[in-house]
């Protein structure tokens, strides 16, 4: 796996990683991501129709753009990245190694796009930020996108996002497009959690995956950061605040294509400690030749079970309220009113008095 002649990258550990022959992307896909993709794949002719409708997308110009204005990873250029890419594709048993390009951009980023065939693109900012094992997890992440067939939908999302900006001046023209974009973003955030898992399977180094996410969040100051403290941020983010904060979290994440970095780290660590991950590492995982027999009903049932468990175990105030309502603990309207107005603990008089006190204290009072 390691070529000793690459002296500038000699910090790559000389160790063998497990290979997952014939692994299906279902093995690592997040339940919400997997259920959506299984349903789409089971629709007869969906991909054919989808690509036909996508014929207006400038994929040819996209490929020519990267070919003409980026550096293609190969045996002659960015050799260490080429080794990582082939290694990740070998471990995840991809049938074909997708082309990979490095493009000049100081912002750390990577993506897997393309309609007919996936293309992996990484920025110079990311290459310069991450060490060998951290980068290996990122390359595995993008290879996971390719194996899952995410590139097509990601390309559509990029196209529609740009289109939405161009037609924003047309009355109602942007509404329908943004509805689709919002739905695609919600799916893509879940697909990022899936790809993080693929990156862990490819790199098989949880600490490297954690470090990479920390660096994406805080830059190349690893000596100033701590994994445990970083994960504690995710816990504080999830359980902190009240219902108003829960709503703000939703509004903050809606425009994003990626989940927040601390959340990704916490989700990946949780999965790495799960029985599902251990079974994959032991060689027990779904195979691609079994995909055609996948039950849509079972997939949706698993997804529903996952969401029910997430609501039940969540520390977020809104999710806890939803859990209480689902458990018959009270009426939704009354609980929402009490949570937002503070009327639940003081009674009717207290609630009125509290409102009057708020009016007297003015907006500068931190309690208002």
pLDDT at 64: 72
291-294, Cβ contacts within 8 angstroms, sequence gap of 24 or more: 291/24, 291/26, 291/41, 294/26, 294/38, 294/42
pLDDT at 1: 46
Strand 71-72, strand 100-103: pairing = antiparallel
Helices 261-272 and 173-203: crossing angle, nearest 10°? 40
pLDDT at 27: 94
CA–CA separation, 209 vs 207, rounded Å? 5
Instruction: For residue 181, count CB atoms less than 10 angstroms from its CB and return exposed for 0-12, middle for 13-18, buried for 19 or more.
Output: buried
pLDDT at 347: 44
Contact 358, 348 (CB under 8 A): no
pLDDT at 245: 45
CA–CA separation, 143 vs 86, rounded Å? 10
pLDDT at 366: 38
Q: What are phi and psi of 285, to 5 degrees?
A: -155, 160
Closest CA relative to residue 85, chosen from 41, 42, 120: 120
Q: 11 to each of 6, 15, 204, 212, 345, how far by Cα in Å?
A: 10, 12, 16, 16, 59
pLDDT at 169: 53
Contact 216, 199 (CB under 8 A): no
Task: Tokens 């299984």: give the residue.
Answer: 38
Query: What's the whole-model pTM score?
Result: 0.71
pLDDT at 159: 73
Half-sphere exposure of residue 89: CA atoms within 13 angstroms, side-chain side: 16
The enclosing H or E element of 101 equals strand 100-103
Tens-binned pLDDT, residue by residue, of the chain (368 aa): 444 333 334 444 446 899 999 999 999 988 877 666 665 555 445 455 455 545 555 566 667 778 788 999 999 999 999 999 999 999 999 999 999 999 999 999 999 988 778 999 999 999 999 999 999 999 999 999 999 988 877 887 777 776 666 655 555 455 666 666 666 777 778 889 999 999 999 999 999 999 999 999 999 988 999 989 998 888 887 765 554 544 554 545 555 556 688 889 999 999 999 999 999 999 999 999 988 776 656 655 665 555 555 545 555 454 454 455 455 544 545 554 555 455 554 444 444 444 444 444 444 443 33
């Amino acid at each position: 796996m390691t070529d000793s002649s690459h002296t500038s990258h000699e910090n790559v550990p000389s160790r063998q990683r497990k290979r997952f022959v014939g692994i299906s992307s279902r093995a690592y896909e997040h339940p919400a991501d997997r259920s959506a993709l299984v349903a789409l794949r089971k629709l007869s002719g969906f991909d054919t129709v989808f690509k036909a409708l996508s014929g207006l997308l400038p994929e040819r110009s996209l490929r020519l753009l990267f070919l003409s204005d980026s550096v293609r990873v190969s045996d002659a250029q960015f050799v260490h990245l080429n080794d990582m890419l082939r290694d990740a594709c070998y471990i995840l048993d991809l049938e074909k190694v997708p082309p990979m390009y490095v493009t000049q951009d100081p912002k750390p980023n990577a993506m897997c796009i393309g309609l007919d065939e996936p293309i992996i693109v990484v920025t110079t900012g990311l290459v310069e930020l991450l060490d060998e094992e951290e980068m290996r997890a990122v390359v595995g992440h993008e290879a996971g996108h390719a194996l899952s067939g995410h590139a097509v939908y990601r390309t559509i999302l990029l196209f529609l996002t740009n289109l939405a900006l161009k037609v924003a001046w047309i009355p109602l023209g942007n509404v329908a497009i943004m509805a689709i974009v919002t739905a695609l973003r919600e799916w893509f955030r879940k697909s990022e959690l899936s790809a993080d898992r693929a990156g862990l399977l490819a790199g098989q180094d949880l600490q490297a995956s954690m470090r990479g996410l920390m660096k994406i969040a805080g830059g190349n100051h690893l000596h100033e950061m701590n994994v445990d403290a970083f994960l504690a941020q995710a816990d504080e983010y999830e359980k902190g605040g009240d219902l108003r904060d829960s709503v703000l979290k939703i509004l903050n994440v809606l425009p994003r294509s990626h989940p927040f970095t601390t959340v990704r780290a916490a989700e990946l660590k949780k999965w790495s400690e799960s029985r599902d991950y251990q079974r994959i590492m032991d060689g027990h995982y779904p195979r691609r030749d079994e995909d055609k027999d996948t039950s849509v009903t079972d997939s949706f049932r698993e997804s529903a079970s996952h969401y029910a468990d997430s609501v039940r175990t969540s520390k977020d105030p809104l999710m806890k309220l939803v859990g209480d309502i689902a458990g018959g603990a009270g009426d939704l309207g009354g609980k929402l009113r009490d949570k937002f107005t503070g009327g639940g603990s003081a009674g009717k008089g207290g609630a009125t008095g509290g409102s009057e006190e708020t009016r007297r204290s003015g907006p500068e009072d931190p309690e208002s």
